[in-house]
Structure 1
Amino acid sequence: MKLHLVPARAGLQWVKLGVKTFFRQPLAMSGLFFMFMATVSVLSLIPLLGTLISLLLVPVATLGLMAATREAVQGRFPMPSALISGLRGKPVQTRNMLILGAMYAASLLVVLGVATLFAGDVPPPLDPAAGEVSAEMVRASLANQGLLAGLVVYLPVVMAFWHAPALVHWHGVSPGKSLFFSFMACWGNKGAMLFYGLGWVGVFMLVGLFMSLLGALLGGVQALNIVLYPAVLFMASMFHTSIYFTFVDSFELAEPATSPNHGEDA
């Protein structure tokens, strides 16, 4: 396995492939993402333990959505079982996926701790019902040192865990090494990852503008609320569909996973 460097414009191609593949199986991909979010919502009813279990399952869900994308690329309908494919391999694979989940949960706790440490005197949360929200209030919230510190620490965490689930489950890499390889892949392809992020920001902004216009045409806020949740669900599912392509283009593997730009599936 060797890092594959791609040009920056590949990031926009990943966005395009994610959108294209999502629309091959929109109900399946959005349904799987909804199942994961519903599971998280149910687990959140359990104080503390539910949140920890949810974080533990994030790498499993990430791998499951990547597996579903692989199925869609191959022209097959992703089944619900794809979502838990990370827990259905050999015992050592399942153990390593759970170890990776525990490392992810611990990393987020560190991020939260850093954000809390730098937060200082946090201004009260914005309350629209309390009156007009001024520009100064918004700037004060965005300029909070705790938020900025948390984002700075969270970025390398995201880079380390971005490719890690696929490396652990599909290619037998140990959890620790997978974090290193994932980080180096994201850093080596930082131009493509930047364009990838900017591409999705652009897509979200266009969809937001379209939703605002649609809400105005249909009768305002109430009409907008009706279509808002399905739109957010579709967009989040589309984004997670595109993650698969960032992986298959970032590594030169002996048996590469299927991609429209690659050969046969591993």
Structure 2
Amino acid sequence: MQAIPEFRRVPARHGWLWIKQAFGLFKQNPLIWIVLSVSIFLLAGLLGIIPRIGSVVFQLISPVFTAGLMIGCKAIEAGEELEIAHLFAGFKFHGAQLVTVGGIYLVGLILIAGVMTALGGGALVTMMLQGHPDAGNMATPAMPGSGAGLAVLVALALLMPLLMAYWFAPTLVVFRNMGAVAAMKLSMRAAWANMVPFLVYGIIMFVLFVIAAMPLMLGFLIMLPLAFITYYTTYKDVFDAT
């Protein structure tokens, strides 16, 4: 294993810069980026058809796909062509560690679901897992005795550090040869240190996704690849800045 990489704190305005840089990478190969992103969601849907284990399998291997897209981003910067094969490139290197990242993240989600259930949000958890359209209504505090409102608030508080631990982890594994646990610890530290630009990033991305949903959700064909590419642009800025 290599030495633990250093990370830096960046200004709030970099939250927008990450998105701008991601669009720059996207527009070099827009069609391939759309195909890659849609393929991931189609695969998630196909695996989701398999009862019990399908969604678990996808969660385990999703960091591998993320790492493959990061390899694709690096290839573009090196003047190479983005290819469909990049989606599976993560399986060739560090596959076990990437799957471990997915496993840790999955366990975290299960624990959060358990906390929600203990706080009285069990019905909400079940509806969310089943994709029930009324799940959002269950989360309102106006439902007396349901505990759904408190459960959602606590779940969000627990989900944030889990997302921070995941954010840089696949990229650190594939580019810095880090183990899963070490990568997730470092990812959480780096994301926490850059909370303000991440907040700016999150607000802008939320607005862009709302706008993208208006014309029959066709804007998602751009926003989904853009979201994936920002894993790379944030990593470059925080860990690989020259």
TM-score bracket for this pair, using the shorter chain length: 0.7 to 0.9
What corresponds to 1:204 in structure 2? 209
The Cα offsets for residues 160-191 of structure 1, whole Å up to 9 and x where unpaired, read as 01001111122111111111100000011111
What corresponds to 1:250 in structure 2? 238
- Which of 16, 19, 24 is the matching residue for 1:15? 19
1:150–1:137: structure 2 CA closer, same or farther, 3 Å change rule?
A: closer
Q: 1-side partners of 2:95 and 2:122: how far apart?
A: 43
Q: 2-side partners of 1:39 and 1:174: how far apart?
A: 26
1:208–1:139: structure 2 CA closer, same or farther, 3 Å change rule?
A: farther
Q: 2-side partners of 1:187 and 1:155: how far apart?
A: 10
1:121–1:82: structure 2 CA closer, same or farther, 3 Å change rule?
A: closer
- Note if contact 1:63-1:165 (Cα within 8 Å) is conserved in structure 2: yes
- Note if contact 2:213-2:220 (Cα within 8 Å) is conserved in structure 1: no
Q: Which amino acid aligns with 2:236?
A: V
Residue 115, structure 1, aligned to residue 103, structure 2:
no
What corresponds to 1:68 in structure 2? 72
Partner SS for 1:114: helix
- Note if contact 1:30-1:233 (Cα within 8 Å) is conserved in structure 2: yes
Tell me how far 1:231 sits from its aligned partner.
Answer: 2.5
Residue 38, structure 1, aligned to residue 42, structure 2:
yes
Q: How does 1:1-266 map to 2 (within 5 A)?
A: 1-89=5-93, 93-120=94-121, 140=142, 144-208=149-213, 211=215, 224=216, 228=217, 230-251=218-239, 256=240
The Cα offsets for residues 124-170 of structure 1, whole Å up to 9 and x where unpaired, read as 9666xxxxxxx9996647x7222222211111000001001111122
Q: Which amino acid aligns with 1:84?
A: F
Tell me how far 1:121 sits from its aligned partner.
Answer: 7.7
Q: 2-side partners of 1:137 and 1:120: how far apart?
A: 8
- Larger Cα-atom Rg: 1
Question: TM (normalized to structure 2)?
Answer: 0.84
Question: TM (normalized to structure 1)?
Answer: 0.77
Partner SS for 1:44: helix
Q: 2-side partners of 1:241 and 1:85: how far apart?
A: 16
Q: Which amino acid aligns with 1:238?
A: L
Q: 1-side partners of 2:57 and 2:142: how far apart?
A: 33
- Note if contact 2:209-2:220 (Cα within 8 Å) is conserved in structure 1: no
- Note if contact 2:212-2:220 (Cα within 8 Å) is conserved in structure 1: no
Structure 2 unaligned spans of 5+? none
Q: 2-side partners of 1:107 and 1:163: how far apart?
A: 16
Structure 1 unaligned spans of 5+? 128-134, 212-223, 257-261
Partner SS for 1:187: helix
What corresponds to 1:132 in structure 2? none
Partner SS for 1:250: helix
- Note if contact 1:119-1:147 (Cα within 8 Å) is conserved in structure 2: no
